[in-house]
Amino acid sequence: MKKIFYLLLLSFILFIPTRSCPQPYWLTLNSPTNRFLKECSFVDSLNGWVAGDSGTIIHTSNGGLNWIIQNTGTGYEDVVSIFFLNKRLGWALSWDITFDTNSYGTNILSTTNGGINWGHVRYPVDDVFINTIIFVDSLTGFIGGYPGIFKKTTNGGLNWYKVELDSSFFAGFPPNRFSFYNSQYGFACGGIFDIAGVIWKTTDYGESWVSYGIGPEPIFDIEIFNLATALGVGGDLEYGPTVVRTTNNGTNWGYETLQLFGIAYAVSFRTRGEAWAPLGFQPGWVYTIDSGKTWNTYSAPDSSNLYDVEFTDYRNGFAVGKNGVIKKFNSALINISNNNQNLLPFEIKLYQNYPNPFNPISKIKFYISKPADTKLIVYDVLGREVMVLLNEQLKQGLHEVEFSTLNAEINLPSGVYFYQLTSGEFRETRKMILLK
């Protein structure tokens, strides 16, 4: 039944056109490869490295204008994570999953000359798949992955030892990413699909970690604002991207499902208020301009599937994904030379209906920035039109429409429905749930 639901949901998403944006916020750069690029690491606006499948690591030293393929010596292995501390020191992880050997596992790669040469060290235990690595200085680093790997080094990666985890049910879940505010204070995020999303916190230089189960789906990336505030993203196929947020040093976490298609695999802040999160297999983004309180959607004009993003400063951001795609933030679009205009224009926004789930009435709010012919239509999961809620020219401003199942010509059963807003060239769809 779950597979049928996914197929119906996918067919509906493909049936409904996505938001149109003639001026892209993200520009496509020339790429030296068509490999699946999985993670990027930039130390400044000019110098960055990107890792991908089949042993791929590429490097730019001029802000993405040119890229050089580096010889990692891995060949057939997927490079799943990469981290650079500065222009010289970097580490990466590759998975040995070929069928011509009797063992599978992880290789830890390192370089001291910016990736011109890479050294390899095999993780000493087979059937262990480490998926994230980070260093806070040249000697101190952390790795995490399957099954429940959570380790630290104090000698540059020559040796790794287990850190102390609490005794909660969530402590042994695999972490996906680390984020440190300073060498003493940091978070990790991870979890397992359909079981739990987990956040770990350390306040003693990573020697011990406290775990928090914060939702049903894994968290893939996390960013720290200050000692009190942090934000993470994740999700799954069924419920789409999720956002978690704390404002009290990780003691409590808010958990929000965005009711969209796709999974948020990464997040990065351009300014204190504005952040971008790519949606992986679903072309497009979610972004916020109010520090994660509300989220907007932005469709990828060329249908790129993006999996990682990183801003080095408020001018420069990079994103990578399938088929070797590399994107750079189009700072010229928002007149970046004027510091008072460094936030995205708030043009049109479709809000999540409330309440949701609902029965029998729910309200839908949306904002439009200029007068336009506007439609608001409800569809079922097969893409069939259920009800036209609105079809008229509206003035600029915030509008609210009521959807009542009592007014429907047919008796609507419980289930998933979609409402689509079209205003001028803008088009966006959100999901809602009717429970009787």
Q: What is the pLDDT of residue 372?
A: 82
Q: Could you state, in order of their start, the residue ranges of all structural domains in the chain?
A: 21-341, 349-434
Cα R_g (the chain), whole angstroms: 23
- The arrangement of strands across the sheet holding 275-278 comes to 268-269, 275-278, 285-288, 296-298
Q: What pLDDT shows up at residue 427? A: 82
CA distance 203 to 365: 42
Compute the CA torsion angle 333, 335, 340, 342 (nearest 10 deg): 30
Q: Retrieve residue 325's tokens.
A: 């795609």
Lowest mean pLDDT among 25-39, 144-158, 262-276, 403-417: 403-417
pLDDT at 221 over 90: yes
Q: Residue 221's closest CA among 261, 195, 191, 256?
A: 191
Average pLDDT over residues 113-127: 93
The least confident of 20-24, 45-49, 114-118, 173-177 is: 20-24
Q: What is the pTM of this model?
A: 0.75
For residue 267, the tally of other CB atoms under 10 A from its CB is 27
Strand partners, 122: 107
Q: Does domain 21-341 have CATH number 2.130.10.10?
A: yes
Q: Which CATH superfamily is domain 349-434 in?
A: Macroglobulin (MG2) domain (2.60.40.1930)
